Amino acid sequence: MTVRKNQSALTAEEKRRFVAALLELKRSGRYDTFVTTHNAFILGDTDTGERVGHRSPSFLPWHRRFLLEFERALQSVDATVALPYWDWSVDRTPRAALWAPDFLGGTGRSVDGRVMDGAFAASTGNWPISVRVDTRTYLRRSLGGGGRPLPTPAEVDSVLAMATYDMPPWNSGSDGFRNHLEGWRGVNLHNRVHVWVGGQMATGVSPNDPVFWLHHAYIDKLWADWRRRHPGSGYLPVAGTRDVVDLDERMKPWNDSTPAELLDHTRHYTFDTA
Amino acid sequence: MSRPTRRRALRGAAALAVGGGALAALPRTTASAASAAAHEQDGPAPFDEVYLGRRIQGRSGGGHHHHGAGYTVLVDGVELHVMRNADGSWISVVSHYDPVPSPRAAARAAVEELRGAPLVPFN
């Protein structure tokens, strides 16, 4: 059974294997298909039209399915690998071990944002940015460059306290847990972390930075935490909602699973915490 | 090679923005003026200026994609994918998680993020 661990608890060997599996997916071309899929949904999901991956109730089950697909790809390279998660409310500075050269590498240099160390630095030749929105082919970051700090534990807690999963109009204007976690409204959790990292993570091709998976693995864990805290609250909407994925409707692009089928993560993996 | 600091670049941009107003008055035919007037009831005004050395333009209608934005933004003639949020704020594909008040602000944020790099056309 896959156990997703806090990235801060990984051993040197676990980090080494995770990084090696990422590099092999990149080398084989499979990694970039995930970047392409994500950007297609970023461009296609709109508040007034069909919306599946973002700004909608299915933001959480869609990314759970997307991460499962990615984790299975990693495991096809190395069966011992699981996605770690990054609790950015605790490991909240560029000095965190997450950004050390033996793991994801650090922030970008000031002149052009280019990441200069770690396995994903352009100078290694192993991490070309191929699916891109501008001509720059090197991984970029500006950790904390926007000036706004990462969310605090208290801010996370304030969102976990929201008892209703989602609300009409089921988009970036909604009240409720999903949209506050996604960050279009309120204290802003998920969106703010993308902005804090900067570089490609702030764009539609954000999975170009491997931290994308660790960020979303933690967002996914917060959904699991929320479900345990609110056992009487279910996924909404349940049926008949135009442009929105209802509880028992299949999600693109896989068309093989519904939000209802993805509510229980323990069918696929567990977390290192209870 | 020396590059301007961000502070200096933004100060320069502010000066450019003051002079940019005249550029925003684009010639229009009677028909397109009527169309633009109709759009302005529910959409932002067009713009055309040089910001940090890049030409940014915005206008109602068109666009490679028709995702409800009904508004096209160009950076040096290449379309920047933008999107309007339910609350009227805007984002673009190069600054996707950080809403700003207008498509002009989205274009300026994109120019700052690009640091001189050309956009790749999307399709």
The interface predicted TM-score of the complex, written ipTM, equals 0.94
Rounded to an integer, the average pLDDT of B100-107 is 98
Nearest Cβ partner of A46 from B68, B93, B114? B68
For residue A80, what are the contacts with CB-CB under 8 A and spacing of at least 6?
A17
Q: Are B115 and A203 inside 8 Å of each other by CB?
A: no
| Confidence check: pLDDT of B16 > 60 | no
Q: Amino acid identity of B2?
A: S
Look up residue B20 and give its DSSP letter: T
- The chain B residue lying nearest A170, using CA atoms, is B86
| Confidence check: pLDDT of A248 > 60 | yes
| Confidence check: pLDDT of A49 > 80 | yes
Rounded to 5 degrees, φ, ψ at A53 are -85, -25
Determine the distance in angstroms separating the CA of B8 from the nearest CA of chain A, rounded to an integer.
14
Residue labelled with tokens 């972390």: A193
Q: Are A43 and B99 inside 8 Å of each other by CB?
A: no
Look up residue B117 and give its DSSP letter: P
Number of C-alpha atoms within 13 angstroms, CB side, residue A138?
19
Instruction: Count CB atoms within 10 A of the CB of residue B53.
Output: 13
Residue of B89, B96, B115, B122 to mutate when probing chain A, most A C-beta within 10 A: B96
Q: How far apart are CA B3 and CA A110, in angstroms?
A: 11
- The chain B residue lying nearest A202, using CA atoms, is B95
Residues 202-261, chain A, touching B (beta carbon < 8 A) = 202-206
Instruction: Count CB atoms within 10 A of the CB of residue A43.
Output: 18
Q: Are B97 and A173 inside 8 Å of each other by CB?
A: no
| Confidence check: pLDDT of B106 > 90 | yes
Q: Burial of B80 by CB count in 10 Å (0-12 exposed, 13-18 middle, 19+ buried)? A: buried
Determine the distance in angstroms separating the CA of B58 from the nearest CA of chain A, rounded to an integer.
18
> Chain B residues with CB inside 8 Å of A212's CB?
none
Strand partners, B71: B60
Rounded to an integer, the average pLDDT of A57-74 is 98
Q: What is the mean pLDDT of chain B?
A: 73
| Confidence check: pLDDT of B17 > 50 | no
Q: Are B93 and A132 inside 8 Å of each other by CB?
A: no
Rounded to an integer, the average pLDDT of A59-78 is 98
Q: Burial of A21 by CB count in 10 Å (0-12 exposed, 13-18 middle, 19+ buried)? A: buried
Nearest of A99, A118, A121 to residue A8 by alpha carbon: A99
Q: How far apart are CA A188 and CA B123, in angstroms?
A: 31
Look at residue A146 in the predicted model and tell me its pLDDT: 84
Residue of B8, B54, B95, B97 to mutate when probing chain A, most A C-beta within 10 A: B97
Q: Are B85 and A172 inside 8 Å of each other by CB?
A: yes
pLDDT top residue among B30 and A151: A151
Q: What is the pLDDT of residues A200-220, one digit of tens each?
A: 999 999 999 999 999 999 999
Look at residue B64 in the predicted model and tell me its pLDDT: 52
B99: cis peptide before it, omega within 30°? no
Rounded to an integer, the average pLDDT of B60-69 is 61
Our measurement of the distance from residue A227's CA atom to the centroid of its chain's CA atoms, rounded to an integer in Å, reads: 18
Nearest Cβ partner of B67 from A46, A146, A190? A46
Residues 39-98, chain B, touching A (beta carbon < 8 A) = 65, 67-69, 81, 83-87, 93-98
Q: How far apart are CA B38 and CA B63, in angstroms?
A: 18
Q: Are B113 and A42 inside 8 Å of each other by CB?
A: no
Lowest mean pLDDT among A5-9, A161-165, A167-171, B67-71: B67-71
Look at residue B26 in the predicted model and tell me its pLDDT: 35
| Confidence check: pLDDT of B41 > 70 | no
Q: What is the mean pLDDT of chain A?
A: 97
Q: Are A49 and B87 inside 8 Å of each other by CB?
A: no
CB A161 within 8 A of CB A173: no
Residue labelled with tokens 């030749």: A125
Which string of DSSP letters, residue by residue, matches chain A?
A: -EEE-BGGG--HHHHHHHHHHHHHHHHHTHHHHHHHHHHHHHHH--TTS--SSSSSTTHHHHHHHHHHHHHHHHHHH-TT----B--TTTS-STTSGGGSTTTT--PBPTTT-BB-SSTTSGGGSS----S-SBS--S-B--TTTTSPPPPPHHHHHHHHT---S--TT-STT--SHHHHHHTSSTT--HHHHHHHH-GGGGSTTGGGSTHHHHHHHHHHHHHHHHHHH-TT---S--S--TTS--TTSPPTTT-S--HHHHS-GGGTEEES--
Look at residue B70 in the predicted model and tell me its pLDDT: 84
Our measurement of the distance from residue A50's CA atom to the centroid of its chain's CA atoms, rounded to an integer in Å, reads: 21
Instruction: Count CB atoms within 10 A of the CB of residue A177.
Output: 26
Percent of chain B with pLDDT over 70: 59
Lowest mean pLDDT among A134-138, A156-160, A246-250, B40-44: B40-44
Q: Amino acid identity of A186?
A: G
| Confidence check: pLDDT of B27 > 60 | no
Length of chain A: 274
| Confidence check: pLDDT of B66 > 70 | no
Lowest mean pLDDT among B59-63, B99-103, B105-109: B59-63
Look at residue A107 in the predicted model and tell me its pLDDT: 98
pLDDT top residue among A45 and B2: A45
Q: Are A202 and B120 inside 8 Å of each other by CB?
A: no
Q: Are B119 and A206 inside 8 Å of each other by CB?
A: no
A186 touches chain B (CB under 8 A): no
Rounded to an integer, the average pLDDT of A133-141 is 97
Which string of DSSP letters, residue by residue, matches A16-46?
A: HHHHHHHHHHHHHTHHHHHHHHHHHHHHH--
| Confidence check: pLDDT of A36 > 70 | yes
Q: Are B122 and A43 inside 8 Å of each other by CB?
A: yes
Predicted confidence band at B42 (pLDDT cuts at 50, 70, 90)? Answer: low
